[in-house]
């Protein structure tokens, strides 16, 4: 890498997204993060955006382009959950999760694609979940939206793969976050029994996979699903 590549991470103000942004900064990339509230990590440009609103995203991209340059790496990380069993799930519970997790990826990547085509270089990295292919009771909306990202990345690979653009999926498993830390010890122990590695992952382990996929070393990898789940899912 002869100069700073420009990276945009959606939902980069907390959790896995924040760890991804921090890792890119540490590796010398120019990093922007979208957030509806709060700020990204030190060394990043924070722009306000709602991934369900194309006009909002367009304005965010324009700001990033003016301040950092064309976006060459996009990490679609922003996501929400509205967990409940199928028979209790409302239309809005389903539609809002799909619009954010899948629709958000569509809007973010579509806006970035023109610049990548002009540059004849680009990296699209979609943050999925082990749940997308493993399944999880009470998460039909979430697992459907995350599973669909695989088809998205593989179709995009077939569309743009000859233009120096790759599209891949990273599927985290149980990751150490504020949410997992709040679980009772007994519940945490039960979860860990199902993970061959016997532990939760660290957000930085997910970030390491993402940054590698954005590198020149991963130029011949596209349409792949990279699990970061301690062996929980297997068969991605």
Where in the sequence numbering do the catalytic residues fall? 142
CA pair distance 162, 159, nearest whole angstrom: 8
Residue pair 202/175 in contact (Cβ under 8 Å)? The answer is: yes
In what helix (H) or strand (E) does residue 127 lie, and over which residues does it extend?
strand 122-127
Distance of CA 127 to the CA centre of its chain: 3
Sign of CA dihedral 190, 195, 198, 199: negative
CA pair distance 76, 214, nearest whole angstrom: 13
Residue pair 173/130 in contact (Cβ under 8 Å)? The answer is: yes
Buried b (16+ CB within 10 A) or exposed e, 74-109: bbbbbbbbbeeeeeebeeebbebbbbbbbbbbbbbb
CB neighbour list of residue 210: distance below 8 Å, 6 or more residues apart: 20, 23, 75, 125, 127, 170
């Amino acid at each position: 890498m002869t100069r700073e590549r420009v990276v945009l991470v959606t939902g980069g103000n907390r959790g896995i997204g924040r760890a991804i942004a921090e890792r890119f900064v540490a590796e010398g990339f120019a990093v922007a993060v979208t957030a509806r509230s709060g700020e990204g990590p030190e060394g990043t440009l924070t722009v306000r955006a709602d991934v369900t609103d194309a006009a909002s995203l367009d304005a965010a991209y324009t700001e990033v382009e003016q301040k950092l340059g064309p976006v060459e790496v996009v990490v679609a990380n922003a996501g929400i959950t509205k967990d409940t069993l199928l028979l209790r799930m409302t239309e809005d519970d389903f539609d809002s999760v799909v619009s954010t997790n899948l629709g958000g990826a569509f809007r973010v990547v579509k806006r970035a694609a023109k610049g990548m085509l002009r540059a004849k270089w680009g990296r699209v990295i979609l943050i999925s979940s082990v749940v997308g292919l493993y399944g999880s009771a009470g998460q039909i909306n979430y697992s459907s939206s995350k599973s669909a990202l695989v088809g998205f990345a593989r179709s995009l690979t077939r569309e743009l793969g000859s233009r120096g653009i790759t599209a891949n999926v990273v599927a985290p498993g149980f990751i150490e976050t504020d949410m997992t830390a709040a679980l009772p010890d007994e519940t945490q122990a039960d979860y860990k029994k199902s993970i061959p590695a016997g532990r939760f992952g660290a957000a930085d382990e997910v970030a390491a996979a993402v940054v590698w996929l954005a590198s020149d070393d991963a130029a011949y990898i596209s349409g792949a699903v990279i699990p970061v789940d301690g062996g929980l899912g297997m068969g991605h």
